[in-house]
Amino acid sequence: MDKLHQLLSSRGHRITKARERVFNALNTAEKPLSTTDIIALCPTADRVSVYRTIELFSHLGIIKLIPVGWKQQYELTSLFKSHHHHMFCTKCKKLIDIHSDDFENFVAKLASTYQFTPLDHTFEMRGLCQKCQKQ
C-alpha cells in the first residue's frame, strides 16, 4: 500500500477510501476483475468513485486492461504484481496466466536483435483450453 500512496502523491493525487478499496480488491484477486467484480468487492464505495478510480489507475499505470472476448477486465501492473501474460479460451472464457522465463528471454533477445528498447509488452494467446478441446 505504501507504493500506491507514494505513486499517487508523486503525481498530485490523494489516497481516498475508494482508491484504497479498489486497489485492495485488485491486489487480493487471483484473476483479473471486471468493473462489475470490482464494484461488488467495494460495496461501501459508490459506483462513480470506482469508475473514476479505474480510469485514474489506468492513466497512472497502476492497472492494465485485459481484453477478455468482447469484455474487459483489469489487473494490477507489474509495479505491484509479478509480470505475466495470458491465454484466453474462446469457448469457456477461461483466462490462464502465463509465467515464463523462456518467453521473457525471447522478448529480450528479439528486442536486442532489432536494437530496440522495450518499455512494456503484452502477449495474449487465444484458443481452446484443455477441457474445451475434449468436448
Per-residue pLDDT tens over the stretch 53-77:
999 999 999 999 988 877 899 999 9
Q: List the domains of the chain with CATH numbers.
A: 2-76 (1.10.10.10), 85-134 (3.30.1490.190)
Cα separation, 88 vs 66, whole angstroms: 10
* Higher-confidence position of 122 and 40: 40
Cα separation, 102 vs 126, whole angstroms: 19
Smallest CA-to-CA distance from 95 within 31, 25, 5, 29 is with 31
pTM of structure: 0.81
Cα separation, 23 vs 38, whole angstroms: 9
pLDDT value at 27 more than 90: yes
> Residue 89: pLDDT band by 50, 70, 90 thresholds?
very high
pLDDT value for 95: 87
Which uninterrupted H or E stretch holds 67? strand 63-68
